[in-house]
Chain A
Amino acid sequence: MLEQVAKLIGDEIGADKVLTSYSDMYVYEFDATPMFRGKPDLVVRAFSIDDVVAVMKIANERKIPVVPRGHASSLTGAAVPSQGGIVLDLSAMRKIEVHPEDGYVKAEAGATVAEVDLACNEFGFFLPPDPASADTATIGASIAENAGGMRGARYGSFRNWVLGMTVVLPGGKVFKLGAPVFKQRMGYDLMQLFIGSEGTLGVITDATLKIIPQREGLVRFFSYFRNIREVVDVIQDLKRSKIDPLVVEFMDEETLKCVNEAYKTNFRTDGIALMIDIDGYQEQLDAVAGRAEEIIRKHNPLELDKARGGEPKAIELYTARKASYPAISRLNKIVLIEDLTVPLSKVPDAFSEAKSIGRKYGISIPTFGHIGDGNFHPTITFRELTKENLELAKKIFEEVSDVAIKYGGVVSGEHGIGLQKKASFVRMLESMGSSELIEYMKRVKELFDPNGIMNPGKVF
């Protein structure tokens, strides 16, 4: 039957946009999660909204699953066609229009976050959310996953920056949601439903995002503290002192060991590294940075280094933090990254408990992340890829997820639920006494997607 569907879609939008060969299906089985695979029945490469509309009409009539896909850098299995069907590859839709005069950028779904940011930089603006995967993560997928990033300490995740979007619903109906203005009241804010919906409601084909002027300067501090509690104390003290850092990141001892092993560096491994960026106008930067430095020093760091943005030292320090995940990837074949987010005051306990689970199983759980907003990534690692290791990794993953629930947080801050966190998501809702919410979500889905074709099996 799907041969017939492929032909129908091909007749509508051009046969060259429809892939059916075994090898093409094979490469679309994956995303960046090691434990999930699913073979699509066909892949459609959309080059325009008309292509998307055609697919959504045909798929809906025949109740064929549709999995919208950008660059599949998802860490939760969200882009895996676990129930077959059509993978709708949006990566070739990548037009970008910057409107500096009105402070927004409009981008098609397949443009990468880095491409959009770079286009804004040419006009002296930037896009605040900065997922670590910005080089590859696409705008459509970043919105569908409500991605965050290092600047989340101040700017939060994508949700805070989307002003409008175009979505195509099953059946081919096109809706424009939101508007390119910073204040908007349009009844129920249905646009927000699509942010973080993980492709389960419809296909986001373009988005309008608020952008802001680039800052003039930056001072980067890189310090080490004896334990996580001291790190949190520093962050809380900074905030009490009316300092609002742009970036607040940390790497624990095990992460630093991985960086040293993978890159032959010599970062100290007897403490927790804390990176803080203070930005601002040139006239005020030294004063604010000076005040921040005073506060950091007051907490007796084991070591404190600093550099101004653009200096080689600043790049080196940033590279060290950015190297966390790559270093872990270089050393381990199984890397399951958690995405716990708890209130800042609970981070020390949650962090320690996550680490103790690693010790219990005798494995390494290097942990790093965006501590400024309580979002951190205990990373379950195994050097070798075996079935046994993968099964154990999954078990440990669930156990570590529960730590976020215990401390009143969430199992995902920025990566999403996908396939990987479905079970812990349910446990989280149970712990909140809100299990029924899943039913409400299903009813919302039904409204937009009565045939249940959109990325089925994800989230719930």
Chain B
Amino acid sequence: MAGIRSHFIFRRDATLKVRTRARAGLMSVFFLLGFGLVAARLVDLGIAGTNDGLSSSWKQISSAVYRPDIVDRQGRMLATDILTGSLFANPSRINDADTTVEQLATVLGGIKPRTLRKRLQGSGKFTWVARELTPRQQAQIHELGLPGVDFVQEPHRVYPAGPTASHVLGFVNVDNRGLAGVETHIDRMAGVSASRSKRGQEPAPVRLSMDLSVQHAVHAELASAMKRYQAKAAAGIVLDVHSGEVVAMASLPDYDPNHRKQAMDKNRFNRITSGVYEMGSVFKVFTTAGALDTGVTSLDKGYDATHPLKVASFTINDFHAKRRWLSVPEIFIYSSNIGSAKMALDMGRKRHKEFLGRLGLLSRMETEMGPTAMPIVPRNWSRLNTMTIAFGHGLSVTPFQVASAAATLVNGGYKVAPTFLARSRDEARIQSKRVIKLQTSDLMRYLLRLNAQQGSGRRANVAGYRVGGKTGTAEKVVNGRYSRRALMTSFLGVFPMDAPEYLVLVVLDEPQRVAETKGKATAGLNAAPTVGRIVERIGPMLGVTPVLDRGRKRFDEHVRASY
């Protein structure tokens, strides 16, 4: 009010100098500006508000990120994040570190008292005590009522399907960062490890090419094969030969990704992508395909397999020796080493090596999980190398590469990059290029089917699914020598052979001569029937229509009884 009155005085006193008025005017402008600013700030605060302390503080503490879910090709959940409690301590607020550690040790089994005590006695305001506690442990610690320790809720990765898909999924570390399998791919994908995503803001689920039902069938059959044949390890992969999708991949012994410590066990590594093996006779498919594709041989040609092949101090002999001339299909179904070696020699070292390289057998193969193990390729590729590699010795590759290369042989000749992510066949076709002739692919289909009907792959030939394939029995190197007892058996199966869709490769490590296999341990007696059993189970899941031979009872009587 004082200001208003003085204003009137101003008006009455006309003798005041103009200068004073100007000064007063200037003053009032300043005041107006000043109050205007205050008012504006008030309005601003009123509307925008300050950041209330409502956003909980654990996000700053926790370094764990929410990861996108992983689902199988049908959308079934394979990995997700749930919240679990973790315990941290504020050392500056802990008075008695000894008692605190003592009390905590009663609840937490796995802690090291000495290191924890040191951490709690140190300076600083934050240290982890234990992470990923069970709800029960959390409750018990809460009961202890210790000062200076508190919980935070952190996202924690869980794998609901357990060990079934472990080698495909991989696992994560305590901070929810991918350490193996597809989880590493998710970390490399933009926006996962870069930002600390919150619940509801995590990227869209990652859809795999894997089918959980097929994966389970493969996993279960491998487990039973490992037991039945008393093998050290069993591994298998199912590949869509057109899209390159890995529909299933298992390697036993495996681990439960929910218990990441198990995964560190050296024996539980992924034999499909990380192990390199001399694949034995399975390699004859590549030799034969190479010889056919380069035109050095044809199905009506033959090779003399009467005598063992002597090179330097080596003698190449046949396991199922026929001691006569063999036609190319006979070489294939009797799995003749002599014939295959001669076929490779006909191709010549250079072309043989080039052909294997074209199929991707001589270099690492990139996948979403990172590169496969490096193949062991002879440094100087000699004539002898070509001869032994023709029947699968002297070159060690991952089963993953064998599956991928074999897919090319049966899918019409296209090199399709295998993938663990869902992809359509059309999409794959655009990205892939032809590396062998269509005709070669057709001939290979014929040979593989023939081998399953008359040759070493008979036990893989389950009714209805037109399986074709090739066995491989390789002797493992024990103490620097090939051992007759330690075998590595494998079977490369494809079905249905009239129009191939899926490839199944099974590898057994040191199967024993059990009664069921008539005291033998060759691939035709263990790996081949395992593939057969797998095909029989996954065929219907993958929608492959079985065709039963004419004249046979077409329909199971029992089914009719179960209307």
Partners in one complex: no
Instruction: Write the residues of chain A forming the contact surface with B, with a CB cutoff of 8 angstroms.
Output: none
Instruction: Write the residues of chain B forming the contact surface with A, with a CB cutoff of 8 angstroms.
Output: none
